[in-house]
Amino acid sequence: MKRLMTIQDISCIGKCSLTVALPIISSMGIETAIVPTAVLSTHTQFPNFTFRDLTDDLEPIKNHWKSQGFEFGTIYTGYLGSQRQIKIVSDFFDTFGSKDNYIVVDPAMAEDGVLYPGFDSHFAKEMKKLCAKANIILPNISEACLMLGEPYPGEDASIEFLQELLKKLVALGCDTAVITGVSFSDGTLGFLGYHKKNKEFFHYGTEKIPYRSHGTGDVFSSTFSGALTKGLSIEEALKVAADFTCACIKNTYKDPEHVTYAVNFEAEIPYLLKLLSITPSE
């Protein structure tokens, strides 16, 4: 069984970070080793959330895993709570990263041009350094602009502008940069990416559902990281992630009892397995 490591928080309610990554990646038949960075009562979009910082546990976890000789096909990081955590995660990359595995960084820190509560420009700078050490990075438009010090152009940014951002993102050091949440002229929503090696852009769009929700970035990045670990190519894995995320949003939009803080990803897991041609055993 292939093994993936994911480093993110546990938001007890909110369907984001580890509570999304663990079920989605496990459902693909991949061993999912989690490194919880903090325990929050909810994600930070709720008022008065609690926050138990687990930063002091991270290095002992890393050292124990190293002593046991664990290896990982993919290391995938999402929301991180502080600059200190980012520095320790960077040490995880040095310890467990190799030419044979993938490092995927989703610099989950902003939306609509605004950093999440508790983050500042120093945090964005540290995240930029972490992105430089990854193979593949998955920022949204806000995160790409914040890391590059570019003004936020809004969600309808032109493709030409985003292509320039992508070239600057790979210049930081990663192999492939992918901007998510891109609106295309044919009315679809999807991703635009760039491979540094062959200087090629690629893109893919799915139906744009008139509904926005938290946690969709984590559904996308988790699905991508799992599919990549299963052996799909970067572009194939991104397409599966886009199709699955779109299905989750659509399901939520149509559900009269949906919650407003997250998407119905659970109900669409059978569709994810179908996309990956995984047949559940009897």
Interface residue list for ligand PXL (CB under 6 A): 9, 11, 16-17, 40, 43-45, 78-79, 108, 116, 214, 217-218
CB 27 within 8 A of CB 272: yes
Token code pair at residue 123: 């945090």
Starting at the earlier edge strand, list the strands of the sheet with 74-77: 51-53, 31-42, 3-13, 74-77, 102-105, 136-137, 176-183, 189-195, 200-206
d(CA 167, CA 159): 12
- Beta carbon nearer to ligand PXL, 46 or 211: 46
- Beta carbon nearer to ligand PXL, 17 or 142: 17
Nearest to 215 by CA among 254, 249, 253: 249
Residue 82, SS3 per DSSP: coil
- Beta carbon nearer to ligand PXL, 26 or 82: 82
CB of 46 to ligand PXL, least distance (A): 9
Place of tokens 């490092």: 103
CB of 250 to ligand PXL, least distance (A): 20
Residue at shortest CB range from ligand PXL: 44
CB 136 within 8 A of CB 104: yes
Q: Who contacts 156 (Cβ-Cβ below 8 Å, separation ≥6)?
A: 183
CB of 162 to ligand PXL, least distance (A): 21
- Beta carbon nearer to ligand PXL, 174 or 263: 263
Place of tokens 């929700």: 213
d(CA 242, CA 126): 28
- Beta carbon nearer to ligand PXL, 83 or 163: 83
Question: HSE-up of 32 (CA within 13 Å, CB side)?
Answer: 25
CB of 21 to ligand PXL, least distance (A): 10
CB of 12 to ligand PXL, least distance (A): 10
Q: Where are the alpha helices (DSSP H) in 105-207?
A: 121-132, 141-148, 159-171
- Beta carbon nearer to ligand PXL, 111 or 243: 111
CB of 53 to ligand PXL, least distance (A): 12
CB 138 within 8 A of CB 105: yes
- Beta carbon nearer to ligand PXL, 78 or 190: 78
CB of 98 to ligand PXL, least distance (A): 27
